Amino acid sequence: MNVSTAVASSVVRGSPAARRAVVVSWLVVLLVAGCAHRNSGSGVLPVAPSAAHAPAKSAHATVRILVPRDVRHPRRPAYVSSATSSLSISVNGATAIIALLTPSSPGCVSSAQGLSCTVGVDAPVGLDTFAVAAMDQSSNTLSRAVVPATITAGQANTIPLTLDGVVAQIVVTLPSPGPPEGVATSVPVLVTAKDADGNAIVGPGSYDNPITLTDTDSQGATTLSAASVNAPGAAVTLAYNGLPLTTAGAAATVGASAASVPTSAVTSAVFAPTPPHDDWPTFGYDSARGGDNPSEILLSPATVPKLHQVWAFTLSGAADDQPVVAGNVQNTAQGTVDVLFIGDENAAFYAINAVTGALLWKKQLLTQSVPACHDLPNGIFGISGSPVIERSTNRVYVTDGTGLLYAFDMSSGNIAPGWPGGGVEMLPDQQEHIYGALTLDAANHRIYAGFGSHCDITPWRGGIAEVGTASPGGASFFFTLGTPTANGGGIWGPGGVSLDPRNAGSPSAYSDIYALTGNASIPPSTTAFPESLVRMNAAMSVVGANAPNYVSGDLDFGATPLMIQPANGCTQTLAVGKAKNGQMFVWNADAINGGPVDPTIQIGTSSISGYNIGVPAYSPQTHMIYVENGSDSSLTSTGILHGLLAFGLNSDCTLSLLWQKTVGPNAIYDSPPAPPAVANDVVYYADGPNNDIFAFNAVGGGQLWTAKLSGDLFTAPMVVNGRLYVVSFGIGAGNIGTLYAFAP
């Protein structure tokens, strides 16, 4: 009797692409059982009789397999590997017959659809087990199946037979392997199983040897939706929770394995979320000195507890400037990198790979030696103020110990084109020093620096210098006391001067700068502005000033004003600053002359000992102001103690204490805590001489993390691109500063 089957597959011949495109999977076998006609002349290979049921009556069966000529026209019921060149059939475990499938093979006929071959086999009447395998020219098994079937004499027996592809190679691919780091998402995982000839196995049907999937992400940021793949077309996804993969910029590997498949035949897929490359361009993140990074997504209350030190960089001297970071800078030596810039009091200026801590380039600038002043170790004054970056020109600006302003190309470290090689002087003479950060008004091409004298050594002038960045020439000066001959009015705050926060939206209308000034030998007047909040326009003319609590002693401002835009129902633009007398003030920036809008807040103890200085931080997300506080309040009824304070901004523009964390020392001479930084609902605080850095939940104040470092921590921490950077002032007899980097 004869047997016919309906089978579709890829053609063996045709274009190379067609020959390698599709593997196959299923075969329908139609068996017709009856009398055996041994000499029927069926045109197939000789039939090997089955020995499993010798006494039983047998029937002759034939199997017809069709290998389609063109994979672009797949035929149902399914596919057979394009590399199939022979068919093996065994009945009840007996020796298999092997039939060649070529155009010249007996029983094979070429047609428009492909190559149709008929293979005969003897099968006993009754329940039989058929083992069918499709093989290539090297006798590698491409697909196979074992199926039971009952053969009934005298009638046609149709048996659906599904061939399972035998996996010999595995390729795992991710169509979206690099989503933004920090953003939760799911990406498809494509698993392509190939046979021994490199053809992709397709369905319907299963794999003869199922595939096991693996995910190497030990951090747990990624999860596979399935641990195995048993058939072609199975839907698998990789869920990413947005958290950093061990360290920011790391990767996970999705791998696979299957029985009899060597590791060399497996191609894994790498899942590497694209890390952010944001900037922290100036002290406090922006020129309003807000201290908040609104772009930070990697460090959060969930990830901060996992912070650990990833590198440390030793400087050449004491360090007290908050570093700045420029993301994705095309560095001459290392390609595209995030670059961190920092200086030290030995006047060394560094460009450091922000991810690895490797030095990119270094410039040795000038120091000023003032043995009679011990503000800094050994009376050596170098780079005290934070640099500032300008992306539009690829420049970083920094001043040295002599007041020279330099503009360096961020990529190479060379002097920026058009800038004087020897810098531009921003001090009226060498009696002063630039203690605070540079302030850039990029839209109006101006850069500012506040200055004050060394230890109030006569003559002790204070003021602001302005230099145009488009065509740098000599600096313009504003003297706090109206004349360079009067003593006092230094600007000491770590943030230098602040720029109106409305400048970003309307730079031509809001280009004014704000400063908090020091004490002087003369009282405030219409021309002299000691111990005041001062607002000046672009022409360096005063448009508003207020001395809220002038006294003749040294209870002035060693601070920088924090500028806050209208928020949370408050319709005023605010300036916030604290004084050495332990008081914190809030002004309406557009009505400074009228004095503070909030009743005086006594947050500390009045003292000239240098622990009531700095600049708060503000989060637009929480509408809270975070204040470093170096001493307990002298007004005990407030209940305010030293440490970190969190005030809420009210709709009437007043402040209310919401929580406080009493950490670090109380009232240590000349040892203030560092200004805080805030990002993504986490506030970071360094307690000064206790050498501790903390992270607190910015909303409720719960402690998330802490670490003890070496050396005093007077400098504001900085948070960008999933890393926390902390500067240690100085360690050991040489007072050598250290820059630390932390990541989850």
> Alpha helix (H) ranges present in 537-657?
none
In this predicted structure, what is the pLDDT of residue 552?
64
In this predicted structure, what is the pLDDT of residue 70?
56
> Of 208, 212, 207, which Cα lies nearest the Cα of 256?
212
In this predicted structure, what is the pLDDT of residue 58?
78
Residue 628 CA to residue 616 CA, distance in Å, equals 7
3-state secondary structure of 411: coil
Contacts of 510 (CB under 8 A, 6+ apart): 500, 501, 502, 503
Residue pointed to by tokens 């500067």: 727
Class of domain 169-271: mainly beta
> Of 78, 63, 197, which Cα lies nearest the Cα of 131?
63
CA atoms within 13 A on the CB side of 542: 23
Residue pointed to by tokens 């002032």: 729
Residue 453 CA to residue 372 CA, distance in Å, equals 12
CA dihedral 55→59→60→64, nearest 10 degrees, is: -120
Rg (CA), the chain: 39
Query: In this predicted model, what pLDDT tens digit does every residue of 696-735 receive, in sequence order?
Result: 999 999 999 999 999 999 999 999 999 999 999 998 777 8
Residue pointed to by tokens 């230890």: 455
Q: Which residues of the chain have pLDDT under 70?
A: 1-56, 68-79, 157-160, 246-249, 552
Residue 739 CA to residue 693 CA, distance in Å, equals 13
474-481 contact pairs (CB < 8 A, 24+): 474/424, 474/425, 475/405, 475/424, 475/425, 475/426, 476/540, 477/428, 477/540, 478/536, 478/540, 480/517, 480/518, 480/520, 480/528, 480/529, 480/530, 480/534, 481/520, 481/522, 481/527, 481/528, 481/529, 481/530
3-state secondary structure string across 216-277:
CCCCCCEEECCCEECCCCCCEEEEECCCCCCCCCCCEEEEEEECCCCHHHEECEEECCECCC
In this predicted structure, what is the pLDDT of residue 598?
78
**DSSP state at residue 111:** -
Q: Where in the chain is the domain with CATH 2.60.40?
A: 169-271
Q: Where in the chain is the domain with CATH 2.140.10.10?
A: 304-743
CA dihedral 204→206→207→209, nearest 10 degrees, is: -170
* Kind and range of the H or E run holding 20: helix 16-21
Both structure tokens of 211: 């595939």
CA distances from residue 586 to 515, 635, 677, 731 in whole angstroms, order as listed: 14, 18, 19, 37
3-state secondary structure of 193: strand
Q: Is 569 left (phi over 0), alpha (psi -120 to 50) or beta?
A: left
Cβ-in-10-Å burial (0-12, 13-18, 19+) of 372 comes to exposed
Residue 464 CA to residue 448 CA, distance in Å, equals 7
Q: What's the CA angle centered on 54, arms 49 and 60, to 5 degrees? A: 40
3-state secondary structure of 17: helix
Both structure tokens of 568: 């949370």
What is the CATH superfamily name and number for domain 304-743? Quinoprotein alcohol dehydrogenase-like superfamily (2.140.10.10)
Q: How many CB atoms lie within 10 A of CB 313?
A: 20
Q: What's the CA angle centered on 75, arms 73 and 77, to 5 degrees? A: 155
In this predicted structure, what is the pLDDT of residue 246?
61
DSSP string of 28-76, one letter each residue: EEEEEES---TT---SSPPPPPP-TTTTS-EEEEEEEEEEES-TTS--S
| Contact status, residue 741 vs residue 311, Cβ threshold 8 Å | yes
